[in-house]
Amino acid sequence: MASFDFPVSAVDGAARTGRLITSRGEIRTPAFMPVGTAATVKALYPEQVRAAGADIILGNTYHLMLRPGAERIARLGGLHRFMGWDGPILTDSGGFQVWSLAKLRKMSEQGVEFASHIDGSKHMLTPERSIEIQADLLGADISMQLDECTAFGSDRDEAAKSMELSLRWGKRSKDAFGERESQALFGIVQGSVYEDLRAASAEALVETGYDGYAIGGLAVGEGFETMCAVLDHTTPRLPADRPRYLMGVGKPIDLVESVARGVDMFDCVMPTRSGRHGQAWSDYGPVNLKNARFAEDPEPLDASIDCPASRDYAKAYIHHLVRANEYLGAMLLSWHNVAYYEDLMARMRAAIAEGAFEAFRRDFLSRWEAGPAAGR
Amino acid sequence: MASFDFPVSAVDGAARTGRLITSRGEIRTPAFMPVGTAATVKALYPEQVRAAGADIILGNTYHLMLRPGAERIARLGGLHRFMGWDGPILTDSGGFQVWSLAKLRKMSEQGVEFASHIDGSKHMLTPERSIEIQADLLGADISMQLDECTAFGSDRDEAAKSMELSLRWGKRSKDAFGERESQALFGIVQGSVYEDLRAASAEALVETGYDGYAIGGLAVGEGFETMCAVLDHTTPRLPADRPRYLMGVGKPIDLVESVARGVDMFDCVMPTRSGRHGQAWSDYGPVNLKNARFAEDPEPLDASIDCPASRDYAKAYIHHLVRANEYLGAMLLSWHNVAYYEDLMARMRAAIAEGAFEAFRRDFLSRWEAGPAAGR
């Protein structure tokens, strides 16, 4: 493995800000990674993603291995070139999406056999194959170990067995990954809601040694309080000098509270998915632009954000576009939402750097609790 | 009426090039107007439309009067401001779309009563109401008289009655329009495929006097040869010092052959509609990017066109986006198609200016007849 440098420039409580330095550029942390599921951050041009403030995006192994196929992307020069993104890319292992999207799946010690949701074709995902796809074929800057996402509601025994399988898959992922010059591999903490299992998972992962540590198995229905509780006892067990990545999270409030607990990286489809469904994110929560109260509202979504979608289009116009089901509605809202998320991360980084994160967090919480109606 | 200046700088056979000078900027002719049906050129940002080379866009009275409503757009500052387009806008009268899209319609001397295709609500479109919507409420730079589109296949008697109704509606449109400082009104030649009716229509319109003259009732199923024949005997009857606008046309070959017959302006949904259906236009015809032969094609759509969508994305990537039904596929193809259409107009303008239009037309025809496979 190649340990990317991760200089932390300020710590404020458990929150910290720094830079993860990859060969394709620096990732300012805490960082939000827009999701480029099928080699595109949905409804955005790559230049817009970058200009919105994203230093890194996420690609989905499951989607890409099925369509257009990992070998095809490799023949076309790798994922960066294929999708026109020259910054760092983190790929997931495919494990979570096999678990949630594939039509049939059969777990074994070896890996997961599944049928594609697109055409029903059969595939096998093992730790070794996942690393081959991510690191060799797609050319990800950061690869994730294959893991099993433990279902929320699993009993302790199921959760323990699942977590132990993920540990074994992690070791096989690391063996398959080997030594690489400018690519990194992250391990994934599992253990569901059980503190001792999370602790055991974290300890074993650190013992094995990864370039970064992800917290998996959250944002699967456990709720905000439980998520915070898991973070409270998990992040302190992860090395301070390595990035911590909370997978698949989340709403703005989740990001703020997770940063407060020492998380450095996030990914979530929420900004782009909400954008395709008429919603604009704000510190006050999600705003539904379809609502009739915006029909003649000349104000922009958020003039304080340096993004044309946030600043230059009236809500009345976006309301019309959403109602008329026009592409441009989804395009503008997705763009605004990514810019909003990146702006939120930038504000958190600045607050941590100034030693003012607790004040930021308190102010944010009061806006969040006031709700969308207060944001007008 | 305010007659926009229309200096013609070069004539080559029947083809001519010039500038229609409006208070919102110059329109280089021959001009192609991308269609912004519902206050958006589908899947494009306004900046992209402009950068692609469009000097003017078209807005649809029918769509806009139903959603968001013409009065609402007026309260929000007019169509230009509403949709973020500060160049000239031409609006159609609504007549054609009432004819083709409304659920129920009842024609009378007074106008057309119809039910919205969106919610079934009842509306009345008269020449006076159409002008009020276009010129007063939307604020169009160029308004079109209300006309009745004569169905292809109408017998001579039906076509004559319909054409005469359009003439009367034209006069009422002109009366309603009155004198305006920086807005223009175009009349519309009807008469179906009947030469004497087209001649009578043109003569009567010129007698009434408009700022420009459109040729309507084509691109409704009559076919390429008939369209050319109608143009052959109609355009010479229209004043040389006023712009001629062929409504709703067409494919690239239609544009070239119409320019050869003295047409100055066009509009068509084809570039954007094709873009949403996986097609890229070229001098060789429409190319279906969904086709498997593009799966690993690293070449761009057309490196000679100064547009990122044409130049910077591999066909293999666009193929993937189209197959995966991603927004970005429709976005890139629509953008390329508008840029291609505008590039074609620019090449025609240059050829006319150089007195080389016949050579251009011959070369174009040989490419067009070679077909898409030859274009690779």
The pLDDT tens digits for B137-176 are 999 999 999 999 888 899 999 999 999 999 999 999 999 9
Q: Does A2 touch chain B (CB under 8 A)?
A: no
Q: What is the pLDDT of residue A2?
A: 53
- Which residue, among A132, A235, A145, has the nearest Cα to A186 in the 3D structure? A145
Degrees (nearest 5) of the Cα angle A125, A221, B327?
Answer: 65
Last residue of a domain, one of A244, A266, A288: A266
Could you give the residue ranges of the DSSP H alpha helices within chain A? Answer: 46-51, 61-66, 70-75, 79-83, 95-101, 127-131, 156-177, 195-208, 224-234, 252-259, 270-276, 308-311, 315-323, 327-353, 357-370
Whether A82 and B316 lie within 8 Å, measured CB to CB? yes
DSSP helix/strand/coil, A34: strand
Asked whether the predicted pLDDT for residue B104 surpasses 90, the reply is no
Q: Do A67 and B330 touch (CB under 8 A)?
A: no
Q: Is A33 exposed, middle or buried (0-12, 13-18, 19+ CB in 10 A)?
A: buried
Asked whether the beta carbons of B40 and B72 are under 8 A apart, the reply is: no
Q: A120 and A233, same structural domain?
A: yes
Backbone region of residue A278 per phi and psi (left: phi > 0; alpha: psi in -120 to 50; beta: other values): left
Nearest CA-CA partner of B176 in B138, B144, B212? B144
Interface test with A, best of B323, B327, B335, B337 (most A CBs within 10 A): B327
Report the CATH number that the domain containing residue A62 is assigned in CATH. Answer: 3.20.20.105
If you average pLDDT over residues B24-46, what whole number do you get? 98
Say if CB B279 and CB B269 are below 8 A apart.
no
Do B67 and A324 make contact, defined as CB atoms within 8 angstroms? yes
Sorting pLDDT into bands at 50, 70 and 90, what band is A376? low
Span B320-341, mean pLDDT? Answer: 98
Residue B329 annotated as binding? no
* B86-112 burial code (b ≥16 CB/10 A, e <16): ebbbbbbbbbbbbbebbeeeeeeeebb
Residue range A93-97: mean pLDDT, rounded: 94
**A251 in the same domain as A108:** yes
Instruction: Let me know if residue B167 belongs to a domain.
Output: yes
CB A285 within 8 A of CB A340: no
Per-residue burial over B53-82, b = 16 or more CB atoms within 10 Å of its CB, e = otherwise: bbbbbbbbbbbbbbebebebbbbbebbbeb
Is residue A85, in this structure, part of any structural domain at all? yes
Any domain includes B121? yes
State the residue range of the domain holding B161. Answer: 8-266
Q: Tell whether A321 is within 8 A of chain B (Cβ).
A: yes
Task: List the alpha helices (DSSP H) in A265-312.
Answer: 270-276, 308-311
Considering the domain boundaries, does residue A139 fall inside one?
yes
Given this model, what pLDDT does residue B228 score? 96
Q: For chain B, what is the domain count?
A: 2
In a domain, A26, yes or no: yes
A18 and A121 part of one domain: yes
Residues B259 and B283 placed together within one structural domain of the fold: no
Read off the tokens for A346: 């930038």
**C-alpha distances in Å from residue A149, one per residue of A3, A9, B9, B130:** 25, 33, 70, 60
- What was the pLDDT predicted at B376? 59
Q: What is the pLDDT of residues A223-250, one digit of tens each?
A: 999 999 999 999 999 999 999 999 999 9
Residue B1, pLDDT above cutoff 60: no
**From CA A13, how far away is CA A261, in angstroms rounded?**
8
Same domain for B191 and B340: no
Q: How far is it, in rounded angstroms, from Cα A186 to Cα B147? A: 67
Contact (CB<8Å) B76/A316: yes
At B248 the pLDDT is 96
Specify whether the CB–CB gap between B198 and B228 falls below 8 A.
no
Answer with the one of A266, A290, A324 that is the final residue of a domain: A266
Q: Do B43 and A72 touch (CB under 8 A)?
A: no
Q: Is A96 annotated as a binding residue?
A: yes
pLDDT at residue A6 is higher than 70: yes
Say if residue A172 is in the same domain as residue A249. yes
In a domain, B161, yes or no: yes
| Domain annotation covers residue B2 | no
Reported as a single tens digit per residue, the pLDDT across A131-140 is 999 999 999 9
Whether the Cβ atoms of residue A152 and residue A222 lie closer than 8 Å to each other: yes
Residue located via tokens 């039509």: A103
A94 assigned ligand-binding residue: yes
From A215, A236, A266, give the residue that closes a domain: A266
**First-to-final CA distance of chain B:** 49
pLDDT tens-digit profile of B243-297?
999 999 999 999 999 999 999 999 999 999 999 999 999 999 999 999 999 999 9
Is 60 exceeded by the pLDDT of residue A1? no
**Residues A96, A247: Cα–Cα separation, whole Å:** 10
**What values do phi and psi take at A136, rounded to 5?**
-85, -50
- Higher pLDDT: B259 or A222? It is B259
Mean confidence (pLDDT) of chain A: 96
- What distance lies between CA B211 and its chain's CA centroid? 17
Interchain contact A313–B (C-beta under 8 A): yes
Domain membership flag for residue B335: yes
By percentage, how much of chain A surpasses pLDDT 70? 99
Residues B279 and B143 in one domain: no
> pLDDT tens-digit profile of A322-338?
999 999 999 999 999 99
Q: Is B75 on the interface with A (CB under 8 A)?
A: yes
Are A216 and A103 within one domain?
yes
Judged against a pLDDT cut of 50, whether residue B101 lies above it is answered with yes
DSSP H stretches of helix in chain B: 46-51, 61-66, 70-75, 79-83, 95-101, 127-131, 156-177, 195-208, 224-234, 252-259, 270-276, 308-311, 315-323, 327-353, 357-370
Over residues B194-238, the pLDDT tens digits come to 999 999 999 999 999 999 999 999 988 889 999 999 999 999 999
**Closest among B156, B144, B161 to B89, alpha carbons compared:** B144
Tens-digit pLDDT profile for residues A12-49 = 999 999 999 999 999 999 999 999 999 999 999 999 99
What is the spatial distance between Cα A272 and Cα A340, in angstroms, rounded to a whole number?
11
On whether B134 is known to bind a ligand per the annotation, the reply is no
Asked whether residue B28 falls in the same domain as residue B94, the answer is yes
> Distance between CA atoms of A263 and A17, rounded to whole angstroms?
10
Q: Based on the residue annotation, tell me whether A92 is a catalytic residue of this protein.
A: yes
SS3 A141: coil
A47, A183: one domain: yes
Higher pLDDT, A103 or B54: B54
Share of chain B above pLDDT 90, in %: 94
Q: Is A232 a catalytic residue?
A: no
Predicted complex: ipTM over 0.90:
yes
For A115, other C-beta atoms within 10 Å of its C-beta total 15
Mark whether B116 and B139 lie in a shared domain: yes
Residues A254 and A280 in one domain: no
Q: Which residue of A has its CA nearest to B72?
A: A296
How far apart, in whole angstroms, are the C-alpha atoms of residue B97 and residue B93? Answer: 9
- Residues in CB range of A13: below 8 A, 6 or more apart: A260, A357, A358
Please give the structure tokens belonging to residue B369: 């007849």
Instruction: Judge contact between B345 and B255, C-beta under 8 A.
Output: yes
What one-character-per-residue DSSP string does B28-76 give?
A: EESEEEEEETTSS-TT--HHHHHHTT-S-EEE-HHHHHHTT-HHHHHHT
